[in-house]
Amino acid sequence: MSQQAAATPPNLLSPEVLASLSNLDLVARAAVHGFFNGLHRSPQFGFSQEFAEYRAYSEGDDPRFVDWNVYARTERTYIKRYLGETNTHLVILLDSSASMGYASKKNVTKLQYAKFLAATLAYLAARQHDAVGLIVFDEEVRDHRPPSSRIGRLQSVMHAIDRAEPGTGTDLSVPFERFHQYQKGRGLVAVISDFYCEPEAMLKGVQPLAYQGQDVVLFQVLDPQELEPELKESALLEDMETGEAMEVSPIFMRSRYRERIQEHLGALSKSAARANADYQLLRTDEPLDGALRNYLTFRQRRG
């Protein structure tokens, strides 16, 4: 029996199992299957396919949802709408900077975990018939797919996510500036990053999105060793983005470092609240269900 078939639905959400799957499309489908089986397909998150109403067809709508029986009787083109459809857009901002390539022990890298999450969010949005877009960035925009609900857009976004590789440094202003330049309508923005930046810099980038009417959710992806380092002897640690190195002791890592990382996380959370953005910390050794539950709750609350 294959690993995919043998896995129980909750296990399908674990990073180790997702990393064993052959492609991101399969990762997204497996994660969504595992998540909704775990919820027993609860309707509270608005994924019901119960018919709600008809809407006149407009350019750009998916022709798969045209009711051709109605067209045959009236010669007018209408789209079937279902409960749970939001008719909005989701733009994913994916950090592919050098620091996202870090992984400790047997964990997946932060970028791998971020890819799993990005692919799953894109799949969920497409399932909602939402337009899906993507910006991959480090110090520059490495890939940009404007949001669209046209046939083939999901595969285009999946391909761009799959191609993302750890790059150089991080500049959060870059994706936000690109977003402002090309995206005008109101929708959802999911930023996936380790957020190794000044909280004020993050706030400066996110606030204009809120003023523009965007609903923003921030997913901070960190390795467990970045949160609770286990160091038995002094070691030389190198910054993956700047190349700078410093010697640290186990005492420092157990005390002052942990205090500083908690201060940083607290400052990020407060800055997100000031920007009216949702914030969630994710560990690369934990299943995706917490992130997905947070995202769907956020959608429901902002909808």
pLDDT tens for each residue of 257-266: 788 889 999 9
Backbone angles phi, psi at 52, to 5 degrees: -115, -50
138 or 76, which is more confident: 138
Interval 208-230 mean pLDDT: 89
Whether residue 113 has pLDDT greater than 80: yes
**Residue 120 half-sphere exposure, CB side, CA atoms within 13 Å?**
28
Kindly state the average pLDDT of the residues 147-157: 89
Q: What is the pLDDT of residue 2?
A: 39
* Residue 40: predicted pLDDT: 46
Q: What is the mean pLDDT of the chain?
A: 81
pLDDT exceeds cutoff 70 at 93: yes
Provide the pLDDT for residue 83. Answer: 46
User: What mean pLDDT do residues 27-56 have?
Assistant: 64
CA distance 257 to 255: 6
Q: What is the DSSP letter of 107?
A: P
pLDDT at 162: 96
The domain segmentation of the chain, as residue ranges, is: 49-82, 89-302
- pLDDT for 207 equals 87
Contact status, residue 197 vs residue 172, Cβ threshold 8 Å: yes
5-14 pLDDT per residue, tens: 344 445 668 9
Does the pLDDT at position 36 exceed 80? no
89-302: what fold? Rossmann fold (3.40.50)
pLDDT category, 100, cuts 50, 70, 90? very high
Residue 136 has pLDDT above 50, yes or no: yes
Q: Which two tokens stand for residue 53?
A: 């109403």
Q: Is the pLDDT score of 43 beyond 50?
A: no
- Which among 110, 223, 118, 121 is positioned nearest to 162, based on CA atoms? 118
SS (H, E, C) 44-103: HHCCCCCEEEEEECCCCCCHHHECHHHHHHHCCCEEEEECCCCCCEEEEEEECCHHHHCC
pLDDT, one tens digit per residue, over 177-217 is 999 888 877 889 999 999 988 898 888 889 888 888 899 99
- pLDDT at position 247 is 59
CA distances, 243 to each of 86, 142, 240, 248, 301 (Å)? 45, 21, 6, 16, 42
In this model, does residue 152 exceed pLDDT 90?
no
Nearest to 288 by CA among 90, 15, 9: 15
In the chain, % of residues over pLDDT 90: 40
Q: Can you give the pTM of this predicted structure?
A: 0.79
At 235-256, the pLDDT tens digits run 555 555 555 666 555 655 666 7
CA gap 98, 168 in Å, rounded: 5
pLDDT of amino acid 56: 77
